[in-house]
Amino acid sequence: KDKFEGNVTFNEVVFNYPTRPDIPVLRGLSLEVKKGQTLALVGSSGCGKSTVVQLLERFYDPLSGTVLLDGQEAKELNIQWLRAHLGIVSQEPVLFDCSIAENIAYGDNGRAVSRDEIVNAAKAANIHPFIETLPHKYETRVGDKGTQLSGGQKQRIAIARALIRQPQILLLDEATSALDTESEKIVQEALDKAREGRTCIVIAHRLSTIQNADLIVVFQNGKVKEHGTHQQLLAQKGIYFSMVSVQSGT
């Protein structure tokens, strides 16, 4: 297949959810992420951050404006092909009632995934050493009836699952919001490693985790109100500056 690079562009995207047509979610959103860059989306809940990810995955299409991947309209692309290039780590990862290996392999369930690939994905997600300490290692059952894992362990299995398909674009939905500090640090290291060489879009919850993003975009009422690097935005002393001040308690 043609080499997909992972450039993402939103041009004047207007969107509301079909069930709530009177509530505009995105009102002419424009943003651009170049291949290999990390874009962080910040703003209060309900401001349209998650919608950006849903439009990329093509759960919905924009009412007007365009979503482009490598310059091609997302809605012109084969949806399976498109989703094969996206790796997704959500806030509350769901583990299935089967082995750890099967849970990781599920990330690319259109083919037989080799054990080497599973182990490599687990190593990349900082979870391999932990799995090796379990009596049944990769055959350990997890999920409802299986071994109970901590939030941080689940999150890292979910990262391994997202990486198994070698995605060009990684979508992280507030993936570090529900963990204690120690787990968060380990998960954050795994995410930093996972981002290398990929385009990454982070829906940020804790602002401390996105300070090194290439571009931070501040949403308000479905539009970009501020954008820049962490330092640039602090210097503006605007919305981002006050959000950081609130979170760091200064």
- Same domain? 54 vs 173: yes
Whether residues 102 and 42 fall in one domain:
no
Q: Is residue 191 part of a domain?
A: no
Is residue 129 within 8 A of residue 177, CB to CB? The reply is no
pLDDT of residue 2: 59
Q: Is 138:101 a contact under the CB 8 Å cutoff?
A: yes
**How does pLDDT run across 175-199, given as a tens digit for each residue?**
555 666 777 777 778 888 888 889 9
If phi > 0 it is left, if psi is from -120 to 50 it is alpha, else beta; for residue 197 that is: left
Are residues 112 and 80 part of one domain?
no
Residue 161 sits in a domain whose CATH number is 3.40.50.300
**pLDDT tens column, 89-101:** 887 778 888 899 9
Q: Do 174 and 158 share a structural domain?
A: no
Both 160 and 173 in a single domain? no
Range(s) of the domain holding residue 227: 1-85+169-182+198-250
Q: How far apart are CA 128 and CA 231, in angstroms?
A: 35
Residue 189 lies in a domain: no
pLDDT per position as a tens digit, 39-57: 999 887 666 778 888 899 9
Task: Read off the amino acid at residue 236.
Answer: Q
228 belongs to a structural domain: yes
Quick one: 17 and 44 in the same domain? yes
State residue 178's pLDDT score.
61
Please state the domain count of the chain. 2
Residues 102, 73: one domain?
no
Residue 190 lies in a domain: no
